[in-house]
């Protein structure tokens, strides 16, 4: 029996991305699936319904989700959407589960098998499925474009008969995927670029892109990275020394872009109000972590704030969505690559191998249970109060190993970017 994949239009008005492209639709139908795309789902990403039908999809409506064996989304399904899914359906999306325990419990109660793409492990096999990297790349690029637009001056040095225009000074804070792309983009535009990160390995990466690295390089800094390439939490003493160096540097910059995020925790404050006050009028700060509380004091989600001293703090939400036409194409490929690993090529059916390392890492809920060890304990407690015990089964808490969310989380090399 042919299985059905449904691709809905995202309900959030601020989300222009879509979870399938004409290319991935063609490849999904080639695997033997029926693909239904909700009418208008791709319009904000410059993909028309005709593009989808040419690739082999059927154009449908919201109610078609009820017959789908697999639902591909950008954002976590809402309660209203969950009511329209059949029990046992696989739902693959960016689930944003941290701090959203009730939403995770609701997915378990709905009986769906939910996969959180942002938990994809950083291994060679899964590189093509890494949504954080694909979207952070575009966020880093767009951050520089947004900064240049607000700066309203030329970024490169220009020597003319009428005089010389000095190059803009750009400082990137956090050298993960978004930070590296921001460095590369600012360099292409001709700016003088510096960057900082707590990982020693970042110094070589920054230099390879033609930028200058800024950090307090003492003994603690040299030991600030784990064998797996993660950053360790630094001591208060080191943080104070780094903050002093950073404050002095920021005062001389024209543009500052911050990208630091710690999974499951509020974004660390990197730029204080005093640092903002020290900057020249017309300077620009772009905070890519604003959705998690922000790296810049005074940043407001969804707003561009102009301070009393004439500094602009840019807090755009969903920055990858600001280049949706490109972001959707990359995201769709991420989803296809992951789903393909779960397809039995003989039966042309989705056959989830729950022992597969990719499945183990990304599966949040399954068969009415919360199965991800980092969320089982907190969600179970909330679900027990809100749901009827007979209707919501929960996974047995893992006592032998403390879940990752309960330990002090380390900053991933690329997940440290917005």
pLDDT tens per residue across span 128-149: 999 999 999 999 999 999 999 9
pLDDT at 170: 98
DSSP letter assigned to residue 271: B
Of the candidates 127, 153, 208, 354, the residue annotated as catalytic is 127
Contacts of 90 (CB under 8 A, 6+ apart): 69, 70, 71, 112, 113, 115, 342, 350, 352
pTM comes to: 0.86
pLDDT value at residue 227: 53
Please, what is the Cα angle at 137 between 182 and 18, to 5 degrees? 140
Decide if pLDDT at 113 tops 80: yes
User: Among 3, 133, 142, 181, which one carries the catalytic annotation?
Assistant: 133
Which residue matches tokens 């919501």? Answer: 392
Beta bridge partners of 241: none
Kindly indicate the confidence band of residue 223, based on its pLDDT and cuts at 50, 70 and 90: confident
Percentage of the chain with pLDDT > 90? 78
- Can you name the residues that pair with 306 across neighbouring β-strands? 312
Q: Compute the average pLDDT of residues 331-351.
A: 95
- Determine the Cα–Cα distance for residues 230 and 407; give it in Å rounded to an integer: 14
What stretches of 223-284 show up as alpha helix (H) in DSSP? 236-250, 273-278
pLDDT band of residue 240 (cuts 50, 70, 90) is: confident
Task: Report how far residue 286's alpha carbon sits from residue 316's, in angstroms, rounded to the nearest whole number.
Answer: 8
Question: With contact defined as beta carbons under 8 Å apart, do 297 and 311 qualify?
Answer: no
What is the reported pLDDT for 393? 41
Residue tagged active-site, from 230, 239, 265, 272: 230
In 17-135, which ranges are E strands?
34-38, 58-60, 70-75, 90-94, 113-116
Catalogue the E-assigned strands of 276-339: 284-287, 304-306, 312-314
* Cα 280 from chain centre: 31
- Res 33 pLDDT > 60: yes
Q: What is the mean pLDDT of residues 41-65?
A: 98
Task: Label residue 245 by pLDDT band (50, 70, 90).
Answer: very high
**pLDDT (mean) for 340-364:** 95
More confident residue, 307 or 394: 307
Q: What is the pLDDT of residue 217?
A: 83
- Spatial neighbors of 116 by CB under 8 A, at least 6 apart, are 93, 94, 95, 96, 97, 362, 363, 364, 372
Marked catalytic residue, from 69, 130, 146, 366? 130
Active-site residue identified among 46, 96, 122, 265: 122
Residue 315 pLDDT greater than 70, yes or no = yes
Give 242's strand partners. Answer: none
Q: What is the largest CA-CA distance in the chain?
A: 80
Q: Cβ distance 366 to 395 under 8 Å? A: no
- pLDDT tops 80 at residue 414: no
The arithmetic mean of pLDDT across residues 54-69, rounded, is: 98
Mark whether 122 is an active-site residue.
yes
């Amino acid at each position: 029996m042919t299985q059905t994949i449904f691709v809905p239009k995202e309900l959030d008005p601020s989300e222009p991305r879509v979870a399938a492209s004409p290319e991935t639709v063609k490849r999904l139908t080639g695997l033997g699936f029926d693909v239904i795309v909700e009418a208008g789902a791709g319009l904000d990403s410059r993909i028309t319904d005709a593009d989808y039908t040419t690739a082999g999809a059927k154009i449908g409506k919201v109610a078609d989700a009820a017959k789908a064996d697999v639902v591909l989304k950008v954002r976590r399904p809402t309660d209203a959407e969950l009511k329209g899914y059949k029990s046992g359906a696989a739902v693959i999306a960016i689930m944003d589960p941290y701090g959203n325990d009730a939403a995770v419990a609701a997915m378990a109660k709905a009986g769906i098998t939910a996969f959180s793409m942002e938990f994809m492990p950083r291994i060679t096999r899964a590189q093509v499925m890494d949504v954080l990297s694909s979207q952070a790349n575009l966020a880093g690029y767009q951050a520089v474009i947004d900064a240049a637009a607000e700066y309203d001056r030329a970024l490169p040095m220009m020597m003319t008969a009428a005089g010389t225009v000095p190059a803009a000074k750009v400082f990137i804070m956090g050298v993960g995927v978004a930070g590296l792309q921001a460095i590369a983009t600012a360099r292409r535009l001709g700016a003088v670029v510096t960057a900082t990160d707590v990982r020693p390995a970042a110094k070589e990466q920054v230099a390879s892109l033609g930028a200058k690295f800024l950090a307090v390089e003492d003994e603690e800094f040299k030991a600030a990275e784990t064998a797996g390439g993660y950053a360790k939490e630094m001591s208060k003493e080191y943080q104070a020394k780094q903050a002093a160096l950073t404050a002095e540097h920021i005062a001389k910059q024209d543009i500052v872009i911050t990208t630091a995020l710690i999974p499951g925790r509020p974004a660390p404050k990197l730029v204080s109000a005093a640092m903002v006050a020290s900057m020249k009028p017309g300077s620009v700060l772009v905070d890519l972590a604003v959705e998690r509380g922000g790296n810049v004091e005074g940043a407001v989600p969804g707003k561009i704030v102009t301070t009393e001293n004439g500094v602009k703090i840019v807090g755009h939400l969903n920055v990858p969505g600001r280049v949706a036409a490109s972001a959707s194409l990359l995201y769709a490929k991420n989803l296809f690559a992951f789903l393909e690993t779960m397809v039995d090529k003989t039966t042309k059916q989705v056959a989830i191998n729950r022992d597969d390392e990719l499945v183990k890492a990304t599966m949040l809920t399954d068969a009415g249970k919360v199965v991800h060890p980092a969320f089982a304990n907190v969600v179970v407690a909330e679900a027990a109060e809100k749901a009827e015990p007979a209707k919501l089964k929960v996974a047995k808490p893992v006592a032998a190993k403390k879940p990752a969310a309960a330990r002090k989380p380390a900053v991933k090399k690329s997940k440290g970017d917005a």
